[in-house]
């Protein structure tokens, strides 16, 4: 997969040299190219922003600079353009899976109050453009959001994770544990500072281990993510699941139970 990132702080992306993503780059699975936006600013100060039309605080990134940058980086092709912004569509595991299918992504990192909206309008006729938010909080710029997205997408590429099952078992991955977060995990030693590993995990009984893991996933989902628990599809729940939810005094939405 080819990944281009345009930013006024390309040095923000040093973490992409290490760990899983760094190895994927060394192997050529991921071809990451960083670009300094200011290279396409032509005045002596390399200005990339200006005051907003209509007034208001902050600065807006100039369309001419972004236009030249994207024209150059995307020359000869049409990458999917991703623009991180707190007003974008939510980034989730489903979008990560979708982006992992793309051959070429171009991330345009805005700073200040964002990029002049005509830039997104201009490229929408030539390539797929998505404005994407990684969560309901405001960062100082899109760079950290792009790091988050690149890591989430990169680990889904074939051969990036050592164990392909890891991605299948993820919280939020499509499949049997859909809409449940993962439960707790343990490794050796069996007792640490008086805390014991749950006995069932040492039993070697695969059926009981799987049941226990599912129970713990349900408990944690109810405790930490009640909105996910409320949206559980009754079709995906067995009798044991329902009984546990009952014990946890958690009722499914009445309209779900009705059918």
7 near ligand ADE, rule: CB under 6 A = no
Give whichever of 83 and 217 is closer to ligand ADE, judged by the CB atom: 83
Whether cis (ω within 30° of 0) applies to the bond prior to 189 is yes
Q: Are 153 and 99 in contact (CB under 8 A)?
A: yes
Q: Are 16 and 44 in contact (CB under 8 A)?
A: no
CA–CA separation, 5 and 71 (whole Å): 13
77 near ligand ADE, rule: CB under 6 A = no
156 is in an annotated binding site: no
DSSP-derived secondary structure letter, 55: -
* Cα 26 off chain centre by: 22
Task: Please tell me which residue in 170, 213, 219, 241 is annotated as part of the active site.
Answer: 170
CA–CA separation, 38 and 48 (whole Å): 7
67 is in an annotated binding site: no
The end-to-end CA distance of the chain, in Å, is 43
Q: Are 221 and 250 in contact (CB under 8 A)?
A: no
Give whichever of 143 and 241 is closer to ligand ADE, judged by the CB atom: 143
Residue 33 is among the residues annotated as catalytic for this protein = no
For the chain, the helix, strand and coil percentages under 3-state DSSP, each to the nearest 5:
40, 15, 40
174 near ligand ADE, rule: CB under 6 A = no
Q: Are 17 and 118 in contact (CB under 8 A)?
A: no
161 near ligand ADE, rule: CB under 6 A = no
Candidate ranges 24-32, 128-136, 170-178, 246-254; the one touching ligand ADE (CB under 6 A):
128-136
Task: Please tell me which residue in 113, 151, 182, 215 is annotated as part of the active site.
Answer: 113
Candidate ranges 5-13, 26-34, 78-86, 248-256; the one touching ligand ADE (CB under 6 A):
78-86
Dihedral (CA of 233, 235, 236, 238) sign: positive
Residue 155 is among the residues annotated as catalytic for this protein = yes
Give whichever of 85 and 221 is closer to ligand ADE, judged by the CB atom: 85
H/E segment holding residue 220: helix 206-224
Residue 113 is among the residues annotated as catalytic for this protein = yes
Residue 216 is among the residues annotated as catalytic for this protein = no
215 is in an annotated binding site: no
139 is in an annotated binding site: yes
What is the x/- site pattern for ligand ADE, positions 133-152, by CB under 6 A?
A: xxx-xxx--x--x-------
Which residues are designated catalytic? 86, 113, 155, 170
Q: Which residues are known binding-site members for S-adenosyl-L-methionine?
A: 110, 134-139
Where does this chain bind ligand ADE (CB under 6 A)? 84-86, 133-135, 137-139, 142, 145
């Amino acid at each position: 997969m080819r990944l281009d990132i345009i930013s006024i702080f390309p040095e923000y992306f040093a973490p992409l040299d290490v760990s899983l993503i760094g190895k994927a780059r060394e192997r050529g699975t991921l071809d990451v190219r960083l670009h300094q936006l200011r290279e396409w600013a032509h005045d002596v100060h390399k200005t990339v922003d200006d005051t907003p039309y209509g007034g208001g605080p902050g600065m807006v990134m100039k369309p001419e600079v972004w236009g030249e940058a994207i024209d150059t980086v995307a020359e000869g092709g049409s990458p999917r353009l991703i623009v991180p912004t707190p007003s974008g569509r939510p980034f989730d595991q489903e979008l990560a899976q979708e982006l992992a299918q793309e051959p070429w992504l171009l991330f345009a990192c805005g700073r200040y109050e964002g990029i002049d909206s005509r830039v997104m309008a201009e490229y929408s006729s030539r390539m797929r453009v998505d404005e994407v938010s990684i969560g309901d909080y405001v960062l100082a710029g899109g760079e950290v959001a792009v790091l988050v997205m690149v890591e989430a997408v990169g680990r889904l590429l074939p051969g990036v994770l050592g164990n392909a099952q890891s991605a299948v078992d993820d919280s939020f991955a499509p499949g049997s544990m859909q809409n449940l977060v993962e439960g707790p995990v343990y490794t050796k030693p069996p007792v640490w500072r008086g805390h014991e590993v749950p006995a069932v995990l040492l039993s070697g009984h695969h059926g009981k281990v799987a049941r226990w893991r599912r129970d713990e996933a349900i408990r944690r989902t109810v405790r930490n993510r009640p909105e996910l628990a409320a949206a559980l599809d009754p079709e995906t729940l067995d009798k044991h699941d329902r009984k546990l939810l009952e014990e946890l005094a958690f009722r499914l939405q009445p309209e779900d139970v009705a059918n």
